[in-house]
Amino acid sequence: MMEAFRKAILQAGPPETFALKTVQEVIKPQKQTKLAQDENQLLENMLRTLLQELVSSAVQSGEEIMLYGKSIDDVDEMQGVIPRLLGL
């Protein structure tokens, strides 16, 4: 499940263009309008775990945390993967 979020934050474009689709694919909510409490908790736990992994990787690599994962080839994209994850 977390792999879907890892792939999502690497997509080009603003997170709002793919965030809802990714959540629906991973969580498969019972209702399309609102996540149930257990679905919301599952989503929160997955995103928190992924955030912890990314911050840990950034610290180990010595990169600035908020720029971690930013491609040097991508001059249009000013964010690393952590701000993109937070944007989800």
CA separation for the pair 88, 78 (Å, rounded): 16
Q: What's residue 4's pLDDT?
A: 87
pLDDT in tens, the chain (88 residues): 788 888 888 887 777 788 888 888 888 877 766 678 888 888 889 889 999 999 999 999 998 888 888 765 555 556 788 888 887 7
Number of structural domains the chain divides into: 1
Q: Helical H runs in the chain?
A: 2-9, 19-27, 37-61, 81-87
Sign of CA dihedral 23, 28, 33, 38: negative
State the pLDDT at residue 55: 93
Q: Is 23 exposed, middle or buried (0-12, 13-18, 19+ CB in 10 A)?
A: buried
Position 76 scores a pLDDT of: 55
Q: 10: domain range? A: 2-28+36-87
